[in-house]
Structures are given as structure tokens and as C-alpha cells.
Structure 1
Amino acid sequence: MEPFIGKTYQEGEPQILELQKWAAAEPRLAAGFTGRGGGVSEPPYGSLNLALHVGDRPEDVLENRRRLALALGFEPEALTCGEQTHGSRVAVVTADDRGRGRLDRESAFQETDGLVTDVPGILLTSFYADCVPLYFFDPVHRAVGLAHAGWKGTVAEIAAEVVKTMQETYGTETEQLLAAIGPSIGESAYEVDDKVMQHVWPLLEQLGNDSGNRNEAVHPYKESPNDGRWLLNLKELNRMIMIKAGIMPSHIECTGWCTSTHVEIFFSHRKENGKTGRMASFIGLKER
């Protein structure tokens, strides 16, 4: 069953796909992903572009961010984010960090693709146009986390870094941790070359897979019809990393949405030749 369910939205309201199962279990939790509708940005960023680094007018991005925070029941000042670099650095967000990166890139957590917090009233946010959003929720210690995983962050095992940070900071126990993998480019649309796969195969060996049997269905990739190319399933690869990190398979939700296939709903860097906006993943606990 698809975990990310679109909420009905009106003109001027941000398009949101909610992690519905989590929201039903914890009413104070906001967790999900944005679509491309309901904002003020002009083409090619139309309309709900939430990132400051793509060339959009900053005032339009800030208005889109304001709309998103309010729609989720947070103050606009709650939105907090990192300056993503496709790495594996995870930052612990404290009350004093609330709002970092909301108004400009300079105040964001620098070189940071993962964020965790246990402070209510903070809305963790990161930005996407094909990469994989990863979500984490510890219902016992009331802590949440986000990670941005392109292929580089995936092979650097940023998912495991988030788990480790939550264990060390909040006492999170992996058997109680919930995780989710959000809308991102699907295997059929994500073609990579041998240079990328040279990083993937050693990781698969570490995860307990025999990379010698490269056509086996158990692997998160298959050969492309194009010579020297592969179709890589980043969602499945991140799921495998989560399981290795100790998260129970039954506690991992995984979307079927492909950002490249559904450009009527999502921005896609690959499908739109790099000139497009960015969606946002978000997670946070409301103060009341």
C-alpha cells in the first residue's frame, strides 16, 4: 500500500503528500513530501519551488516556504534545513538552531544532508528533484530525522549515519525506530554508468550480497539495454542499508512514486534537463 498519500489542496495551497500511517498514529507529527503545485514561482520553477539554489527569485521561494509551514501547522520560523552536498554529514538540531537556512543558504547547516531533532516546533526540511528522501521517527524518545540520499549519499550510507546519530544523541533503539523512503527517481528511469556502479558493488558486498551474480533479481539494479549502463534502484538500496543498520523491515515504508515518471506532480532534474524547481521533504513534531 502506498504510504505517501496526496492531500486535497485548493488554489494557493501547497501540494502535499502525507505519510498518512504515521500521521494517523501520532497526530502531532507532520511528515511527508511536497508536489510542484500551490506556490508562486514562475516557470521553469512553477510553482512550489522550495529551494534557494536553483535560480528562482528568493522572495518567491520564501513565500512558498511560508505557505508550506503554515499548511502543516508550524510557524514559518520553524523551517530548518542544511546546505546539501550529497555527503553523509548529519547535524543535531537544537532549540537554538530553529530556523537555520530558512531565509538564506548561508545560515543553513553547511555541508549537511542529514538532520535530527527532538525539539517540538522545529520542522526539518530538505530539497529534491529525483534524489531519495529518507525519514526517521523514534516514537519512544520523540525524535525525528531526515536524510537526502543521492547515489553518493546512499553509498556513503547516510541512512546508517542518521540511525547512529539518533542512537548516540537520544538513546534510540533500532527495533523501535520507524523509517520511510519517499518519492524519488525509480529504477526504470535511473540509468548510471560503470563509474557509479564501481561504488555500488563494494557496498552490496558489505550488505551481504554477492556482486558476482549481477543479474540476480535480489540485487537493486539490472543491466540497461544501453551498453555499459545500469538501472539502479536507489530506494531498495537505501532500504537494505536501513535493515543493516538494525531497523526492522516491517518498520520501513517505501513509496512507489517515481519523480521522473510523474512530472505532472513532481520536479525531476533528469526529465527536465536540470532546469526545474525542488520539492521538499519535511518532518517535525508540533508543540501542541
Structure 2
Amino acid sequence: MKTNIYLDNEKFIAGITLRDEIEREQGNMALHTCVNPDDVLENRKRLAISLGCGLDHFVCANQTHSANVYKVTVADKGRGAESKDTAIPNTDAIYTFEPNLLLCSFTADCVPVTFYHEENGLIGVIHSGWLGTVKEITLKTFEHLKQVEHCNPSDLHIHIGTALSQKKFEVDEDVYEKFKNLGYADDFMYYNDQTNKYHIDNQQTVKKQCELAGIPSDHIAIDPTCTFLNPEGFSYRQDKQAGRHLSFIMKMGN
């Protein structure tokens, strides 16, 4: 199973799975968009083995491009791991303080965000497509963590994963206006006179939301790999039948 590991130490492991021609369904990890669910489950099992955990450690949500945040507990262990029917409903950001739970987020062109808190051990994942970005799911997640969990944002570390690049993220004026209305995304957009399209950098907009939440910019890493241009990327824009990457993070426990 081809992966890009962002973080691997005695406390945490985090990364993203990649598209691979030789794997079942090219390494697709999503049950909600697949040809054969058994192939996806086999891919997930192989990932679990490589990470030293079981499939029953996975925690998945049914993502709906919402701005909803959910706190995962031990009772949620295994949700969505083997069936999308058991996944956490209508949620695009999940977090936990618990060890040995592999928090999962599925993306093709959307922006995946993995994060951890160095001091209190909190971990989480966010799925931010353009709809989630204009709903400010990332900013709202970190505001929630500050207010409800009393997290100091300066102790948070962020990894913004592979996504659709600005070059390939072409939109019409209606989407441009939604980003414009955020009030802080102007630097991440340009207009193409040849195509009459706007180009938006969703990753940089999400990074800005992290900074607005008080996270230091040097605590935010961005994977510049474009899901459309790179053969290791799943791109819904390029192929409506595309599979999904799985971004994951787990806190190590005894």
C-alpha cells in the first residue's frame, strides 16, 4: 500500500494513502465510491497492517461537505471501518484525545487536514472541499477546540495534504464570489482571460483559516502534490469515477 507518511514518532503517526496502478481499484480507500467494497476493505486491511493496528481501529465519517465537528470517543472505535452505514453521520471534522484510534478522512481533489496538539495529545482530521472552505470548517473546528477543549492554538501542528492545485481548480464567478466574501482569500485567486475562469488555491485558503485561528504559520505544512497532475493522485475533476485517498492520524498508546 503506497503512502506518504507525514509524521511518525513515539507519539503519533499520520499520513495519506496514494493512488497506485497495481493495487485493487488503484488503492481506493472509500466505500462510498467504489466498484467492489471487498477490494476497498482489503486495501484498508493492508494499510492497518502497515500501521500496526487493526481495521477495527478505524473511525470514519460520512462526509457531506458540512461544517460539523464531532468528538470521537472509545465507543466510536470501528465506526465506518467495514460499512459506511456505521460511519459517523453528516460530519467532516473529527477529533479525539484517545489513543489507538485511526481517524480517517477521504478526499480526491478536496483538501485534507490532519492535526495534532503537542501538549495534550489531541488529534484530528478535517475534510475541506471548496464548499467546506467557504463554510470555514477548518476555522470553526479550531475555534471549537479552543473554546470547548481549551486548546492553545500555538501548540497545534497542521498538515494540509495533497489536493487539486490552483492551476487545475477552475471555477465560475459564483464560486469565486463565495471565496471573495470570506474577506481573506483574495491573494489566493486569479482570473484567466483566455478561459474566462477564476483559479482558486484551496490549500492556501485553508492555511489562512488555520492562521486566523491562531496557529503559527511555521506549524503548518502543505503537500504541494496536485491530485489532477500527479499519477499518484485521485482526481474527481479528471475522472468522475475516481477513488479516494485516505488521510489518517493516530495517537500511540500502550
What is the TM-score normalised by the length of structure 1? 0.84
Amino acid at match of 1:192: V
**1:58 corresponds to 2:25:** no
CA distance in 1 between partners of 2:144 and 2:59 (Å)? 18
Amino acid at match of 2:130: W
Amino acid at match of 2:43: N
**Corresponding residue SS for 2:131:** helix
Q: Partner of 1:31 in structure 2?
A: 14
**1:126 corresponds to 2:96:** no
Residues 65 and 140 of structure 1: CA distance in aligned 2, closer, same or farther (over 3 Å):
same
Amino acid at match of 1:16: T
Quick check: 225-234 or 187-196, which moved more?
225-234
Amino acid at match of 1:34: T
Instruction: Write out per-residue CA displacement over residues 41-64 of structure 1, whole angstroms, 9 at most, x where no aligned residue.
Output: 2xxxx2211101113211111111
**1:186 corresponds to 2:165:** yes
The sequence identity of aligned pairs, in percent, is 31
Match of 2:232 among 265, 274, 279: 265
**1:100 corresponds to 2:68:** no
**Corresponding residue SS for 1:188:** coil
| Aligned counterparts, 1:217-256, within 5 A | 219-256=187-224
Match of 1:85 among 49, 64, 70: 64
Q: Is there any run of 5+ residues in structure 1 with no aligned partner, and where?
A: 1-13, 212-218
Quick check: 79-88 or 50-59, which moved more?
50-59
What is the TM-score normalised by the length of structure 2? 0.95
Moved >4 Å (runs of 4+): none
Q: Partner of 1:3 in structure 2?
A: none
| 8 Å contact kept, 1:127–1:279 | yes
**1:16 corresponds to 2:7:** no
Residues 60 and 221 of structure 1: CA distance in aligned 2, closer, same or farther (over 3 Å):
same
Q: Is there any run of 5+ residues in structure 2 with no aligned partner, and where?
A: none
CA distance in 2 between partners of 1:255 and 1:105 (Å)? 28
**Corresponding residue SS for 2:116:** strand
| 8 Å contact kept, 1:192–1:230 | yes
Match of 1:158 among 128, 134, 137: 137
Q: How many residues align?
A: 254
Residues 71 and 169 of structure 1: CA distance in aligned 2, closer, same or farther (over 3 Å):
farther
Q: Partner of 2:177 in structure 1?
A: 198
Amino acid at match of 1:37: D
